Amino acid sequence: MIQARGLTYQYSGGSVMTFPDIQCDAGDQLLIIGESGTGKTTLLQLLSGLRQPLSGTVSIHGTKLQDVPRKQQDQFRGKHIGLVFQTPHFLQALNVEENIALAQRLAGQKVNLSLVRDLLGRLGLTHRIRAFPRYCSQGEQQRISLARALINRPDILLADEPTSALDDRHCLEVCGMLEAHASESHSALIIVTHDQRIKDRIPHSMNLDHYV
């Protein structure tokens, strides 16, 4: 499903960051924890192909990300990977529904507004369908980001602090949806978090503090 081997990365002027090897197969769930500065978000960006490693490889279904032509990378990522960012990024000229539908287009799929509305309803966002993201609360934006990640039914879910801006009720709902999608779709789920509320929910964990 998703495999990382020998990954290293270096920011300009910084020291080389070395990451553990990862193997996450269909249905696996992995929690990545660690103190600030250990590279949790960087690792997630490397796994998704948003950053290029200094050395090492990331493979998805046996295809190395660096072998995917640059022009096809967004579509490849949209087809296989659902990303939940710590800080959501939306096209501010589009409303919530249009932002989610755009994710379908970028993955080369036909837009299915019925599916978009159903997913937003399950996340308690029906009243925000026509709203612009900038008028939504931080917690609402995080749930919109989750909807965008799930809309294409990806076989790999990568979530960066998906519950950090949520109250306890919505934290449990979002965790439940991530876990349910992973179970129902037999998807791999990798979560990066500081959130103590979800650390006992994921069966396998990796602490980056041990690799600094």
Residues in Cβ contact with 70 at an 8 Å cutoff, skipping those fewer than 6 apart: none
Give the start-end residues of each E strand in 76-207.
81-84, 156-160, 188-192, 204-207
Give the pLDDT confidence score for residue 99 in this predicted structure: 96
Terminal C-alpha separation, the chain? 26
What is the C-alpha separation between 152 and 146, in angstroms, rounded?
11
Give the pLDDT confidence score for residue 186 in this predicted structure: 86
- Token digits of residue 192: 């990066």
Enumerate the domain spans of the chain.
27-37+70-207
Give the pLDDT confidence score for residue 210 in this predicted structure: 64
Give the pLDDT confidence score for residue 93 in this predicted structure: 96
DSSP conformational letter for 11: -
Which CATH code, of 3.30.930.10, 3.40.50.300, 3.40.50.1370, 3.40.190.150, is assigned to 27-37+70-207? Answer: 3.40.50.300
Positive or negative torsion for Cα 58, 63, 67, 70: negative
Alpha carbon separation from 200 to 33, 195, 204 (Å, rounded): 12, 10, 9
Contact 191, 165 (CB under 8 A): no
The string of pLDDT tens digits covering residues 159-176 is 998 887 788 888 888 888
| Residues in the chain with pLDDT values less than 70 | 210-212
- Token digits of residue 141: 């934006």
pTM: 0.86
Give the pLDDT confidence score for residue 86 in this predicted structure: 78
Give the pLDDT confidence score for residue 61 in this predicted structure: 92
- Cα 96 to the center of its chain, rounded Å: 18
Alpha carbon separation from 113 to 11, 69, 92, 98, 103 (Å, rounded): 40, 30, 19, 9, 12
